[in-house]
Structure 1
């Protein structure tokens, strides 16, 4: 019989983008993905143009952070680790979730959306109202983001 895997890493990844971090009080909602390019896991999403829609494009109506979904079907040419257009998107508007830092971030700092990354620098970025980093991390690190 063939061996599928015979080597293992000593250090497993602690999480992945869009993974709910713990069992703290949280809330979950769902909306329909309006973006033709899809919406990645672990990113802020906003109210879309249609009823029950959501978009990755920052606007004044933050819905929450996308929750990863391990059982989505994937058609030829589609990208993994994202919701495709018209998929039902799971969103965390309250709780703690893992995301990828878009720069070095500090525990307790407020979070902002650049449109392509989550950072703790104000600048011209969109505020993720009431969301803050729950751990310090470097650029591209997995970090916890919380809204309590």
Structure 2
């Protein structure tokens, strides 16, 4: 009997690499009780080799969190003490909170936990090195190209 494959599977999901272009991922432990979702910016924690969610301007961004389908609990976020894979470079799936255009500067809405091309504000932060790889619609999974510059301070 031949193996059959579905032609309706999504090509990628939030927090998953979109393709096999050159990429690099580091791992940090989640510090504190605040959950950190897949496909979201992570910043350095206060402890050695730790990370926390982006929460304000002026923070040094480590990268974008990757999804881990092997977590022992349901959900799409990391909890305290979890090992968090963080994409320093590559193309990764993220949740869009607005319609975006290809090549636009990517910004993260720290209140709604979504990516947008909207103007920067107190809660919509510019992520250096992040741009949308293609146009996308609000509520969809979009392609985000990320190359971590040093320093990578949110604005």
If the length of structure 2 is used for normalisation, what is the TM-score? Answer: 0.81
Q: Give 1 or 2 for the bigger CA radius of gyration.
A: 1
Q: Matched residues in 1 for 2:145 and 2:54: separation? A: 21
TM-superposed CA distance for 1:24, in Å, is 0.7
- Secondary structure of 1:28's counterpart equals strand
Q: 2:17 touches 2:93 (CA, 8 Å); kept in 1?
A: yes
How far does the alpha carbon of each residue in 1:64-97 deviate from its partner, in whole angstroms, 9 at most, with x for none? 11111111112xxxx5111111101000011110
Q: 2:107 touches 2:127 (CA, 8 Å); kept in 1?
A: yes
Q: How many residues align?
A: 137
Q: 1:107 touches 1:135 (CA, 8 Å); kept in 2?
A: yes
Q: Which runs of 5+ in 2 are unaligned?
A: 148-155
Q: 1:43 touches 1:65 (CA, 8 Å); kept in 2?
A: yes
TM-superposed CA distance for 1:57, in Å, is 2.9
Cα-Cα RMSD: 1.8
1:32 to 29, 33, 44: 29
Identify the range of structure 1 (57-66 vs 24-33) with the bigger mean alpha-carbon deviation.
57-66
2:84 to 89, 94, 98: 89
- Secondary structure of 1:24's counterpart equals coil
TM-superposed CA distance for 1:9, in Å, is 7.4
Alignment partner, residue 50 of structure 1 = 47
Q: 1:20 touches 1:97 (CA, 8 Å); kept in 2?
A: yes
If the length of structure 1 is used for normalisation, what is the TM-score? Answer: 0.84
- Secondary structure of 2:13's counterpart equals coil
Q: 1:27 touches 1:94 (CA, 8 Å); kept in 2?
A: yes
